Amino acid sequence: MEDVARAAGVSRMTVSRALRSDGPVSDETRARILKIVRKLNYVPDQSAGTLSTRRSGFVATLVPSLNNLHFAESIQALSEQLEPTGLQMLLGHTDYSAEREERLIESMLKRRPEIIVLPFDGHTPRTIKLLKQANVPVIEQWEVPKRPIGYTVGFSNWQAARKMTTALIERGYQRIAFVSESEDAWTRGAARRAGFEDAMQSAGLSAHRMIRFGKPPISIEDGFQIGAQYSEHFADADCIFCVSDAPAFGVLSALKSQQIRVPEDIAVVGFGNFEVSRFSSPTITTVEVDARGIGHQTGELVRRLLVDENDRDGIPRHFEIDVRLRFRESTRA
Amino acid sequence: MEDVARAAGVSRMTVSRALRSDGPVSDETRARILKIVRKLNYVPDQSAGTLSTRRSGFVATLVPSLNNLHFAESIQALSEQLEPTGLQMLLGHTDYSAEREERLIESMLKRRPEIIVLPFDGHTPRTIKLLKQANVPVIEQWEVPKRPIGYTVGFSNWQAARKMTTALIERGYQRIAFVSESEDAWTRGAARRAGFEDAMQSAGLSAHRMIRFGKPPISIEDGFQIGAQYSEHFADADCIFCVSDAPAFGVLSALKSQQIRVPEDIAVVGFGNFEVSRFSSPTITTVEVDARGIGHQTGELVRRLLVDENDRDGIPRHFEIDVRLRFRESTRA
DNA sequence: GATATCCATGTTACCGGTAACATCTCTGGC
DNA sequence: GCCAGAGATGTTACCGGTAACATGGATATC
């Protein structure tokens, strides 16, 4: 920067001002400085700027996992929203572990993020303490916690699963099995399971056909293995509701290879509306979640909180994301 | 930090030393300081540290897109490798646009990354200039460029597609169609297409059945639409080689709905070995690429370049990643 | 017992920007 | 012609750490 200032015959401060769109610099001087900046290939050091302005320009972002299209898409949508603002995303993935989440947050806080975006899958007590002390807006995504730390963008997995279950019961299904992960203490999967159980009980039906298999995120392969044990798990069931479309597709694939007909012999239902559920045969009934919408709304919220000074009033604490039931060929009408 | 130092009755420097594992501080003093740090919830500011040490701890990482399992998995593998090193990843996605890539690199350079990891899909001239001037190791991933900037971790998509095509020809296929994206000027998809064409020509076969459809990344839906126009595109073909498993699955789905049998009437081949290709019916013949391996090797390389001081000699410039042909039910033996 | 050596700790300056205030020049109003 | 006010630019100090060197006391060496 010193070099640029010397070459332009001005002070460092003027260079600094010229590089920031707002600074009061004459057009002529700015043009001259920018030309020299380009010639010398000067790239400002943002950590020095951060230190001085106390604004890091970082958005700390956590996701449970990247190899899940939902999370990948919401991240992608968020990062697209962030681009024009000049904010940068610090990304980490928790791998569905609250301890890993805590470690990640701890290391990200050293970068002084201006906002923290993370999924709610249950936090450790220390995580909650760290988040509160960070003195920075916190946005919890996906599942909406009962006691939010700050803002939330998401929906109730409990309600979504309950709604689908109730709709299935209305369509005449009574002996519904539920497939979910084996270690999901606090995840969205657990909330879906609870919603399913509640709906069944409310209808006076038994929710005893609970299959737990595979670690989060449950995969197509896991679903295939479950489906391969049809007689053991589903002999007296009339419908298999899976915690996600991936195992639903796997179950379907396994049933097909055993000549079990869907939906004639048994129905299959997923969750998430992944692309594969629209193109499998039969196509899979599922719960559609607007993953991009979560990223987009979060981006919008970040903009209102950090960028747009005129739009800071009356920001709601909670943004509800759409959830819709998609009935397809894998259930009978 | 000042506060901590005062509370512990030492100088700021001693606190700084106590917080870094290496510093020469007596065990007793360090214990006392760490206790106070915890009590005061002091979190060091890494941008100040960066400024002073001239080490940012950042690994600038670009991917074409996140909603593609290959990239997501390689990123995940890389970030797992990075965790114990204390390095943090700055992630951006180019959306297959060289201009976006240039902008991202420009903004990331302000953070003074210690290394730059990016896919090779062709760069703008300015991008190449920026990367060279950054004076930082550069790792190009996935497709291996003819003229690498620094290190490379990947494989030749040209060769991989050529190998599969040759194997298909050996199995008796002669009228092979190739499905790829419509705007893929510099992508891996284009390299695959070129490899296909070369193999066909070497075998004295015509490579005129080129279907171009959909923007990168080509989806299941795109494949479905292509497959739905069977008679137009594939009336006289005996095999459909798709640039990725996603459209292959979509094509398969469309063929099935038209009662066209695979592989009896026509074969379908994908690329990537996504999970869906193992569980569709029929299962899909594909080219297996070790996506996690790319992330893992990259992480290993980063470690050797930045962390492990004793292992810095004789680091190869290029790491070749495994590619294997997986013949499944969608082609006849 | 004098000196060399080592370890724990302190002091000072600096990393590369920007906030805050000071200064200077030019313009317009009366 | 004098002064207020606004815009462009300069000066100084500071953001929160750490590098580099200085210091002081304990121990080892002969």
To which residue do tokens 């200032």 refer? Answer: A5
To which residue do tokens 């029929």 refer? Answer: B282
The DSSP element (H or E) to which A183 belongs, if any, is: none
| A18-73 tens-digit pLDDT | 998 777 888 888 899 999 999 999 999 999 999 999 999 999 999 999 888 889 99
> For chain A, what is the largest distance between any 2 Cα atoms, rounded to a whole number of angstroms?
85
Exposure of B37 in the CB half-sphere (CA atoms within 13 A):
18
B200 touches strand C (CB under 7 A): no
pTM metric for this prediction: 0.92
Nearest chain B Cα distance for residue A205, angstroms:
33
Q: How far is CA A165 from CA A124, A267, A332, in A?
A: 31, 12, 14
Write the DSSP string, A63-75. ES-SSSHHHHHHH
d(CA B284, CA B258): 18
What pLDDT was estimated at residue A308? 85
To which residue do tokens 């190998």 refer? Answer: B163
Which DSSP symbol is given to A83? Answer: G
Q: With an 8 Å Cβ cutoff, are A256 and B281 in contact?
A: yes
With CA atoms as reference, report the closest residue to A44 among B78, B96, B111, B215.
Answer: B111
- The answer to whether residues B248 and B269 touch, using CB atoms and an 8 Å cutoff, is yes
Nearest CA in chain B to A47: B47
pLDDT band at B183 (very low <50, low <70, confident <90, very high): confident
- The answer to whether residues B125 and B136 touch, using CB atoms and an 8 Å cutoff, is no
- Mean pLDDT to the nearest integer, B52-70: 93
Measure, in angstroms, how far nucleotide D27 C1' is from residue B24 CA.
Answer: 18
Fold held by A2-44? 434 Repressor (Amino-terminal Domain) (1.10.260)
Measure, in angstroms, how far nucleotide D25 C1' is from residue B1 CA.
Answer: 27
| A208-235 tens-digit pLDDT | 999 999 988 899 999 999 999 999 999 9
- The answer to whether residues B332 and B263 touch, using CB atoms and an 8 Å cutoff, is yes
Exposure of B107 in the CB half-sphere (CA atoms within 13 A):
21
d(CA A175, CA A204): 11
Nearest chain B Cα distance for residue A325, angstroms:
20
How far is residue A25 CA from its own chain's centroid? 43
What pLDDT was estimated at residue A1? 82
What pLDDT was estimated at residue B26? 84
Strands B58-63 and B115-119: parallel
Q: For chain A, where are the alpha helices, taking DSSP H only?
A: 2-8, 12-19, 27-40, 46-53, 69-82, 98-109, 125-133, 157-170, 188-202, 220-228, 230-234, 245-257, 276-279, 291-302
Instruction: Kindly tell me if the per-residue pLDDT of A173 is higher than 80.
Output: yes
Nearest to B51 among A47, A66, A76 (CB): A47
- The answer to whether residues B149 and B139 touch, using CB atoms and an 8 Å cutoff, is no
Instruction: Kindly tell me if the per-residue pLDDT of B186 is higher than 80.
Output: no
Q: With an 8 Å Cβ cutoff, are B249 and A67 in contact?
A: no
Q: Which two tokens stand for residue B28?
A: 């007793």
Which DSSP symbol is given to B9? Answer: T
What pLDDT was estimated at residue A68? 85
pLDDT band at B21 (very low <50, low <70, confident <90, very high): confident
A40 touches strand C (CB under 7 A): no
Domain B56-156+291-323, architecture per CATH: 3-Layer(aba) Sandwich (3.40)
Strands A267-269 and A239-242: parallel
CATH number belonging to the domain at A157-289, selected among 1.10.10.10, 3.40.1160.10, 3.40.50.2300, 3.30.1950.10: 3.40.50.2300
Q: Which two tokens stand for residue B171?
A: 């199995």
- Mean pLDDT to the nearest integer, B218-241: 96
pLDDT band at B170 (very low <50, low <70, confident <90, very high): very high
Q: For chain A, what is the radius of gyration of the CA atoms?
A: 25
Measure, in angstroms, how far nucleotide D2 C1' is from residue B317 CA.
Answer: 74
| Helices A245-257, A220-228: crossing angle, 10 deg rounding | 40
- Do the first three CATH levels of A56-156+291-323 and A157-289 match, i.e. the same topology? yes
Residue extents of the structural domains in chain A = 2-44, 56-156+291-323, 157-289
With CA atoms as reference, report the closest residue to A273 among A295, A251, A252, A288.
Answer: A288
Protein residue with the closest CA to the C1' atom of nucleotide C10: B11
With CA atoms as reference, report the closest residue to A321 among A113, A152, A135, A80.
Answer: A152
A242, with CB counted inside 10 A (0-12, 13-18, 19+), is buried
Task: Kindly report the backbone phi and psi dihedral angles of residue B153, in degrees, each rounded to the nearest multiple of 5, phi listed first.
Answer: -135, 110
- The answer to whether residues A199 and A166 touch, using CB atoms and an 8 Å cutoff, is yes
| A106-141 tens-digit pLDDT | 999 999 999 999 999 889 999 999 999 999 999 999
- b/e per residue B20-29 (b: at least 16 CB within 10 A): eeeeebeeeb
What pLDDT was estimated at residue A216? 85
- The answer to whether residues B153 and B298 touch, using CB atoms and an 8 Å cutoff, is yes
Chain A contact probe: residue of B110, B112, B221, B278 with most A CBs at under 10 A? B110
- Mean pLDDT to the nearest integer, B181-206: 92
Q: Which two tokens stand for residue A143?
A: 């599942």
d(CA B160, CA A282): 33
Q: Please count the other Cβ atoms lying within 10 Å of the Cβ belonging to residue A60.
A: 25
- Average pLDDT over chain A reads 94
Measure, in angstroms, how far nucleotide D5 C1' is from residue A20 CA.
Answer: 25
Query: What's the per-residue H, E or C state across A202-238?
Result: HCCCCCCCEEECCCCCCCHHHHHHHHHCHHHHHCCCC
Share of chain B above pLDDT 90, in %: 84
pLDDT band at B8 (very low <50, low <70, confident <90, very high): confident
- The answer to whether residues A84 and A91 touch, using CB atoms and an 8 Å cutoff, is no
| A256-293 tens-digit pLDDT | 999 999 999 999 999 999 999 999 999 999 999 999 99
